[in-house]
Amino acid sequence: MLIKRLYFITTALLAFSICSCGESYPDHPWEWDQETEEEESNPDIVSQGWTTADNFGSLPDYIHIYKSPENLAGKKAIAYIAVADMSKAKFEVLGDIAFSQEANGYGSKSIHTPSEFYESSKAPVVINGGLFFYSAGFYYSQNLVIREGQLLAPNQNHYSKDWVNMWYPTLGAFCQMKDGTFQTTWTYQASDGINYCYPAPADNDINKDPLQAPSSTFPNGAKALEATTGIGGVTVLLRAGEIKNTYVEEMLDISAASNQPRTAIGITTDKKMIIFVCEGRNMTEGVAGLTTANVAKVMKDLGCTEALNLDGGGSSCMLVNGKETIKGSDGKQRKVLTAVGIK
């Protein structure tokens, strides 16, 4: 009888070992079927009420999209941000920009919708770029464009309301420098042909007498701009962690103090680029937009130390995998001269 029992026990153990051959088991049974939660890439942003927007299709693991809480800066808001780890992502400025002898200026004879920029670049995230205007068959760039270390267009170097009094403002730019860092700065292409950057803007004010044209000695701290990629705009929002919002000194009219659709670009200390766009002009009832002061505060709260306001209003647009985020205030995408792509 004892021999039969041993036989059955031995047979059962042998069968179990055969069935379990090749399978691995956790050291602790309670570890079975436990799902590990994916760690949030940007917890500081989520803690402010921004939520992951996962309705735009698959993205590289170093790019994340978030939608704003219902209120920003105490105002009803619809805004989106793209957050890109720039140790892996690439910052591109898009657009056919060159100097035209015929037009005697920088720009192009053609402009494109953000969707067209997306189709040509295939950048997962595309936003509108700098300011421009149209005259006599040519689209003139008002803002700096640097691509692959080459200056394709400087920031506009003069401003006048009556063409009698002339001001020479230093306009904002957001650049990836040759050492790989990102920074906002104020720039001016001087009479010596050098494109200078400055640690602070020339102290222009439309209500004061014009200042001298910027140069290698004015304003203080001039350096030749050494950047691999750059896009200009109007209103440096943040510089070295401090809110600047220098629309008075930069002079070009962007309705800075009124609520408008806005587009901005910035960088954090841990080298994450944050691209911001907000809806406005009541395309959604009650959503008027933000002032540049509002956007500066939002970008700082998101962790940016450097940030620039880009073209806004009807130009404001962000595409993610070619899909629109906000409702454009023109009711459709406005064609623009330049765009920014993140790959």
Q: CA 328 to CA 202: how far, in whole Å?
A: 34
Question: What is the tens place of the pLDDT at every residue in 9-38?
Answer: 344 433 434 344 444 445 554 444 455 556
| Mean pLDDT, the chain, integer | 91
Residue 263's pLDDT band, with cuts at 50, 70 and 90, is very high
Question: What is the tens place of the pLDDT at every residue in 191-235?
Answer: 999 999 999 999 999 999 999 999 999 999 999 999 999 999 999
What is the mean pLDDT of the segment spanning 132-152? 97
Q: CA 230 to CA 172: how far, in whole Å?
A: 10
Collapsing DSSP to helix, strand or coil, 250 comes out as helix
pLDDT surpassing 80 at residue 3: no
Question: What is the tens place of the pLDDT at every residue in 294-318?
Answer: 999 999 999 999 999 999 999 999 9
pLDDT of residue 35: 53
Question: What is the tens place of the pLDDT at every residue in 93-122?
Answer: 999 999 999 999 999 999 999 999 999 999
Q: CA 277 to CA 298: how far, in whole Å?
A: 11
Using CB atoms within 10 Å of the CB of residue 180, give its burial: 0 to 12 exposed, 13 to 18 middle, 19+ buried: exposed
pLDDT of residue 36: 53
pLDDT of residue 10: 42
DSSP states of 81-114: EEEEETTT--EEEES--EEETTTTEEEES--B-H
- What token pair was written down for 171? 């306009």
Number of helices and strands in the chain (H, E): 5, 26
Question: What is the tens place of the pLDDT at every residue in 47-91?
Answer: 999 999 999 999 999 999 999 999 999 999 999 999 999 999 999
Number of Cα atoms under 13 Å in the Cβ half of residue 134: 7
pTM score, two decimals? 0.89
What is the mean pLDDT of the segment spanning 318-335? 97
